[in-house]
A and B are shown apart, each in its own frame.
Chain A
Amino acid sequence: MLEGRLVRLRAIEPSDRVRAVAWLNDPEVTYYLTERYGRAGSDGGWLSDGPPPAFDDVRLAIETRDGAHVGAVNLHRVQAEDRKAGLGIIIGAKDCWGRGYGRDAIETLLRFAFCEMNLNRVWLTVTAGHERAIACYRRCGFVDEARERDGFYKHGRYWDFIVMGILRRDFDALHANSSKGEGDA
């Protein structure tokens, strides 16, 4: 269990599937996401199914302090040699949007990625136009690194993908008091 300020990140349980499927079938939730085809009731994707968390694939449920399951985060495509990973997040409970849960979940996962998994870089891609998400990632310390032009087709048009990244040293500078361990050269 990883404790944040507003949320905790816990292992995913099979009982999370019913909510995961509902979120992945909600057009408002998936509007800017690469979810297209809808999901059967048995298919919650990485939000509810897969191997237990390990170095090469960390998937965790996001819970509020009072135990409500509101979303999920993951680190995928973890490269041991490059010490980098991709980050994904979904806040499926729409009544929880705009409350800082996503930011707290990301910062909690980043602290784990840098201080426990010993990663050096975390990156993500986000659909240009998903302004709320982009603003959240920037507040977490991600910087814009690249723009994949017309990288994504949805809702009858092309969208750019923005690649954002945060390095261990960026995170350490932002959280000088709370991040422990070696500052890597």
Chain B
Amino acid sequence: MLEGKITRLRAAELEDLERDLAWVNDPEVTRFLATRYPMSRAEEERWLRDRPTNDFSNGVFFAIETKNERVHIGNTNLMQVHPEERKAAFGIMIGDKDYWSNGYGTDAIVTLLRFGFGEMNLNRVWLHTFDFNERAQACYRKCGFIEEGRLRQHYYGEGRYSDVIVMGVLRDEFDALHGIVPEREAAR
């Protein structure tokens, strides 16, 4: 269980199935994600049930809950973890649209990055985002990601090509911006 300021990250559970299924079939949600084909309940259930344990080599996948009401609002993950490069790719979905634009995503990301750098000992976390997802990019910048490149016409959806923006955050940059070590450890 990872505690943020307004969110908490916990292991995903099979009980999350109905919410996850609704989100990944909601076009308003998936237009920002690299998922285009409808997802069956059976497939989503199999994915949740057979997912490997959260660890360094498998990466981590967490459900995002609001801290006060314990409402499950989305999921976030680190994947493609490379031990030699100490880097991982990052993904997030705030599926419950009532919770968009209220800082929940930013808090969940900062919490996950603190775990990635402070516990998994990563050096770099990177992501892909679509050029039209400006709300996400503003959020990623607040978390410490900077734009590193633009893959031209790398994605096709809604009848047109879009550029994919590559963003990354390095350990030292995140530490300067948000701090990796909890205050109580730093004081020792």
Contact = CB atoms under 8 A, between A and B. Distances in A.
Interface of A: 55-56, 78, 80-83, 116-118
Contacts of A116: 84
A56 B55 CA distance: 13
A118 B56 contact: no
Interface string B127-149: 00000000000000000000000
A117 B86 CA distance: 10
Contacts of B120: 80-81
A80 B56 contact: yes
B158 interface: no
Contacts of B57: 56, 80
Contacts, number: 25
Contacts of B119: 81
Nearest to A83: B121
Interface residues of B, number: 10
A55 B57 CA distance: 10
Contacts of B81: 80
14 contacts: A55-B83, A56-B57, A56-B83, A80-B120, A81-B56, A81-B119, A81-B121, A82-B121, A83-B86, A83-B121, A117-B83, A117-B84, A118-B84, A118-B85
Given A80-B56, A80-B57, A81-B56, A118 B121 contact: no
A81 to B, nearest CB: 5
Nearest to B56: A80
A116 B86 CA distance: 12
A118 B124 CA distance: 14
B81 to A, nearest CB: 8
Contacts of B83: 55-56, 78, 80, 117-118
A117 B84 CA distance: 5
Contacts of B121: 80-83
A115 to B, nearest CB: 10
Nearest to A81: B121
Interface string B74-94: 000000010111100000000
B60 to A, nearest CB: 12
A45 to B, nearest CB: 24
Interface in B1-60: 56-57
A80 B120 CA distance: 8
Contacts of A56: 57, 83
Nearest to B172: A185
A55 B83 CA distance: 7
A91 to B, nearest CB: 28
A57 to B, nearest CB: 12
A81 B56 CA distance: 7
B36 to A, nearest CB: 33
Nearest to A182: B123
The 9 A-B residue pairs with the shortest CB-CB distance in the complex, in nearest-first order: A80-B83, A80-B56, A55-B83, A81-B121, A118-B84, A117-B84, A81-B120, A81-B56, A83-B121
Contacts of A81: 56, 119-121
Residue among B81, B84, B86, B120 with most chain A CB within 10 A: B84
Given A78-B83, A81-B56, A81-B119, 20 more contacts: A55-B84, A56-B57, A56-B83, A80-B56, A80-B57, A80-B81, A80-B83, A80-B120, A80-B121, A81-B120, A81-B121, A82-B121, A83-B86, A83-B121, A117-B83, A117-B84, A118-B83, A118-B84, A118-B85, A118-B86
